[in-house]
Each structure stands twice: as structure tokens, then as C-alpha cells.
Amino acid sequence: MRRHGARKGSVRPAILLSWIGALLAALLVVTPTTAGDRALIDFLGYSADGDHFAFEEYGIQDGSGFAYSIIYIVQLSSDSWVKGTPYRVQAPEDKPDMPLAQVRAEARQRAQADLESLHIDNPAQILALIGDGAVEEDGTTLAFAEPACCGIATVSEATQTLRLENFPVAEAGFDCVALTGDKPLGYALALDKDGTVSELHRDGQKLPMSRGCPMGYRLFAVLQPFNQSAHRVAIVSTFPFGFEGPSRRFLAVPLGD
């Protein structure tokens, strides 16, 4: 399956920003550093039929210090980006201090016609979340269940568990060994439901250029549409190499239910 919303008929891209060109120029001069930019995420919601899901990742770029926002609209049944998306906005070079709020508002304005035409106005319900301050969570497993309609902290069905694996792959779109000292990493995602394990995704030995040089992956959240028990999505954090170390971006993986 295409993962994280590849366009139909194209090589599947994952989330990255416009640092790719500069990264190519830096291949031979990069020195090890320890911190990159950590994108945040906003779940914009689902379409009424649950087949389309939209989210925004945003933050301040490492290196340039520019604010950025990217809005993705994914058709879950085909695991593909809606044509013409994602919408990417970054503070321009002549206005490097453009506030993040303004950049985000511009991205939302650009995406608004698609959000309206696809009727993406049903909120996303968070079934499980590993927050940035969660203690003793390594991001390799995430358990969730369908919430009960009523009561306090109860669920209405047996727990399911996502299991994430990181593993080295042979190739990526860059010379990742020169950049990071290590091979790029791919990921596999499986769902354990009542003791039956189904693999949802496994990277091949060559990653697309748009994935950059991933240095790791972590489970972040599981979502479903408000008042629906289908069209669930796993949100996976990916950590591509950036100017100042690994930066966080996000992948949306349909669970196929």
C-alpha cells in the first residue's frame, strides 16, 4: 500500500520540508549536532464519509528559523494525497520574522477550498496518544480500544495494539551514511487484534528521496472520526536528519478498518 498519502500514479512521498535542496549541498560539510526542529501536529478532521482525513504539521525550521505549515489531505481508501495537496507555506526570505500564526493562517486559507469541497468538518477523536512529555514510552507500542459511550475512563471493546519496528535499509535519496554516519531507517507497522497480528506497512530496501534520511520512527497517536468506529488512522512520528540533528515530521497510516 502507499503510505502517508502518496498521489495516485506517483512514487509515494513522506513528509519533508524544503530543506532538501540545501541538504544536498551540505552532504560533504555536515558535522554531527544534537537537536533539530520538532514539528507539532493539528488534526483538522475527517470527511462525513470518513474516507478523507486532513492534518497540519507546523513549527519553526532548524537552520533557517523560518516558520512553516503544511496541510495534508489524505484519501484513506487509496492511501493517497488528494490531487494538488499538500499545501506548504513557509515564511519568505524577505520576511524571516513572519509569525507562525500568520503562516498557519495562510496555509489554512490555501487548503480551505479542498476542505470545504470534501466536507472535512467531522472532528478527529483521539483514541490513544503518546504525548511529548509522556514518561517511559519508547514509541514502539500503542494500545487502544473503542471508548464506551458513557461512564468514567471505560472502554467498550477489547484492546488492540500497534507495534512499530525500526530497521536499516540499503538506500535512500541521499548518502545518509555521509550525513549521519549510519544507514537510513525504514519502519514496519503491525496491528495485534485479539492475538491476530496483521502487518499494515513495511518499507522496502530503498526509501523515496522525499523521506530524506530517517533516523528513527515512533508511534504518536491513533484517531478515528467522531461518532464513527472505522476509518482509523495511526500517526507515526518520523525523524529525518536536519541541519541541527533529527527533526520530527509525521506520517498518517490508515489502519484499514
Work out the pLDDT band at 63, boundaries 50, 70, 90.
confident
Q: Region 101-122: what's the mean pLDDT?
A: 98
pLDDT digits (tens, 9 = 90+) for 180-232: 889 999 999 999 998 899 999 999 998 878 788 999 999 999 999 999 999 99
pLDDT of residue 49: 95
- Per-domain residue ranges for the chain? 20-254
Cα–Cα distance measured from residue 162 to residue 193, given in angstroms and rounded to the nearest whole number: 9
Cα–Cα distance measured from residue 210 to residue 41, given in angstroms and rounded to the nearest whole number: 19
In this predicted structure, the answer to whether residue 18 has a pLDDT above a threshold of 90 is: no
Closest CA to 11 of 252, 208, 172, 188: 208
Q: Who's near 104: CB < 8 A, 6+ residues apart?
A: 56, 58, 67, 69, 89
Cα–Cα distance measured from residue 220 to residue 217, given in angstroms and rounded to the nearest whole number: 9
pLDDT of residue 34: 40
Render 109-132 in DSSP notation, one character per residue: HHHHHHHHHTTEEEPEEEEEE--T
In this predicted structure, the answer to whether residue 21 has a pLDDT above a threshold of 90 is: no
pLDDT of residue 36: 66
Please report where in the chains the cell 484513506 appears, as a residue: 76
Cα–Cα distance measured from residue 185 to residue 1, given in angstroms and rounded to the nearest whole number: 19
β-bridge partners, 219: 236
Average pLDDT, the chain: 86
Portion of the chain with pLDDT greater than 70, in percent: 86
pLDDT of residue 15: 36
pTM of the model: 0.85
Is residue 218 within 8 A of residue 130, CB to CB? The reply is yes
In this predicted structure, the answer to whether residue 76 has a pLDDT above a threshold of 80 is: yes
Q: Please state which of the ranges 19-33, 55-69, 76-90 shows the lowest mean pLDDT.
A: 19-33
In this predicted structure, the answer to whether residue 240 has a pLDDT above a threshold of 90 is: yes
Cα distances (angstroms) measured from residue 227 to each of 93, 122, 125, 146: 44, 9, 8, 11
Cell reading at 48: 462525513
Portion of the chain with pLDDT greater than 90, in percent: 67
pLDDT of residue 44: 98
Please report where in the chains the cell 478527529 appears, as a residue: 124
Is residue 117 within 8 A of residue 47, CB to CB? The reply is no
Cα–Cα distance measured from residue 125 to residue 118, given in angstroms and rounded to the nearest whole number: 19
End-to-end CA distance of the chain: 14
